[in-house]
Amino acid sequence: MFSFSNIVALGCIQACIQSMYLLGFSGPGRLLAVFILLISTNMCVGFYVDGGLFKPDMLPITIWESLNSYLLLGPIFMAFVMTMTDSAYRFNKKDVIHLLPFLVWVGYLCSISLHEQSDFLAEQAVNLHTVSTRPFTERFSIIPLVTAGHFCLYLAYGSWQIFMFWLKQRNSSIFSQLCWLLVVTLICCLMMVSVFIVSVTAVIMELDKSDMLIALSYLSTVVGIFSISYLLICYGRPAGFNRVLAKEDMTDTAKDLAEQIKPEVSTQQKGLLMLVEQELRTNKLHLQPDFSQIQLAEKLNISRHQLSDVLALHSSGGFYELVNQLRVDAVIEELGKRPKSDRLINIAYDCGFNSKSSFNQVFKKYTGKTPSQYRDMVKTSRAESP
């Protein structure tokens, strides 16, 4: 039999499936997974309590409601926006301040002695058991209002960041990023508005609580959850925007890297390719023998599949080709610095190669000479120079 309650249940199940899928990715995908998992969990618990299904012996639900996890929604939403608008964004210790309200609340709960905590949880269980019989006016008590205000502040700031992102990058290929940002923002807005409208309407019309009214307050959130499934089908997981360096701000190395990128590559792809090479060259990641494509993808907050697709557009042809090319460049640089008494294999190991055979094969592929022939050529060139 059709009911709004069944739709809410389907939405919660769908959110769990989405979260399990997105948790396998780093960056904005993982943040979105945590965000929708929190929303769906709170929606389930809220529906359970408001619907009169809660029993005083349900300790996990009592503890969850006591934690007030709604205080985490704003910071997670803001983190999602920051990583979507700039995939190179990195969080630092100062960002912990955004979790301060939640940590203070949890600290307050933990400060209660075990005996008092038992009494506190028992009192909370009794209160939750009677929620379904209370009027809608109690939704407007001080703690829920402060929590809602906290989330609205983050929502307003995040919306401003999205607008500024569009304003600065509107000439770039940002359609997929904007779709993700707008859908998640709309979910947040409609979640707040629908609960408020249903509660106010119920107060004005003096309606009693019912499963249908509670389900209606969550309906817009469920629609948003299904919209996320649609975006996953159309665009894949959310990936942050890679800012392109301005031409006048490029170093000589960056300009050389830009020349290796095929001309038909889009602006966003060029930005990602530049980011890949700069990450490798700046941090010397290619000098690590066990460095892998998965590690690079995680550092850039993109999937391995996305990294492979983008590197296929590079003149080198792929990840391993690019890494080998950089390692050969490093060996050539070292050959110009070190004395001939240094063994070639030691130089190779220092530059990321892990076997003599692969070193000889790769070096000859890119230079046309064996390592020993190349060093002899360098030595001869030095001797002939005035």
3-class SS string, the chain = CCCHHHHHHHHHHHHHHHHHHHCCCCCHHHHHHHHHHHHHHHHHHHHHHHCCCCCCCCHHHHHHHHHCHHHHHHHHHHHHHHHHHCCCCCCCHHHHHHHHHHHHHHHHHHHCCHHHHHHHHHHHHHHHHCHHHCCHHHHHCHHHHHHHHHHHHHHHHHHHHHHHHHHHHCCCCCHHHHHHHHHHHHHHHHHHHHHHHHHHHHHHCCCCCCHHHHHHHHHHHHHHHHHHHHHHHHHCCCCCCCCCCCHHHCCHHHHHHHHCECCCCCHHHHHHHHHHHHHHHHHCHHHCCCCCHHHHHHHCCCCHHHHHHHHCCECCCCHHHHHHHHHHHHHHHHHHHCCCCCCHHHHHHHCCCCCHHHHHHHHHHHHCCCHHHHHHHHHHHHHHCC
Q: Residue 249: is its pLDDT beyond 50? A: no
pLDDT of res. 127 = 79
pLDDT higher for 266 or 189?
189
Pick the CATH number of 247-384 from 2.70.70.10, 3.90.105.20, 3.30.70.360, 1.10.10.60: 1.10.10.60
Lowest average pLDDT, out of 80-84, 253-257, 329-333, 377-381, goes to 253-257
pLDDT band at 358 (very low <50, low <70, confident <90, very high): confident
pLDDT band at 193 (very low <50, low <70, confident <90, very high): confident
Highest mean pLDDT, choosing among 29-38, 257-266, 334-343: 29-38
Q: Rounded to an integer, what distance in angstroms lies between the CA atom of residue 41 and that of residue 69?
A: 10
Q: Rounded to an integer, what distance in angstroms lies between the CA atom of residue 74 and that of residue 147?
A: 10
Quick one: average pLDDT of 279-285?
A: 75
- pTM comes to 0.63
pLDDT of res. 210 = 63
Quick one: average pLDDT of 262-289?
A: 70
pLDDT of res. 216 = 74
Domain ranges for the chain, please list them: 4-235, 247-384
Whole-number average pLDDT of the chain: 78
One-letter identity of residue 368? G
Lowest average pLDDT, out of 145-154, 256-265, 333-342, goes to 256-265
pLDDT of res. 4 = 63
pLDDT band at 337 (very low <50, low <70, confident <90, very high): confident
C-alpha distances in Å from residue 317, one per residue of 120, 255, 296, 311: 63, 19, 16, 7
Q: Residue 207: is its pLDDT beyond 90? A: no
Q: Is there a contact between 151 and 73 (Cβ–Cβ < 8 Å)?
A: yes
Residues 6+ apart with CB under 8 A from 227: 183, 187
What digits encode the pLDDT tens for the residues 143-174? 888 888 999 999 999 999 999 888 877 766 67
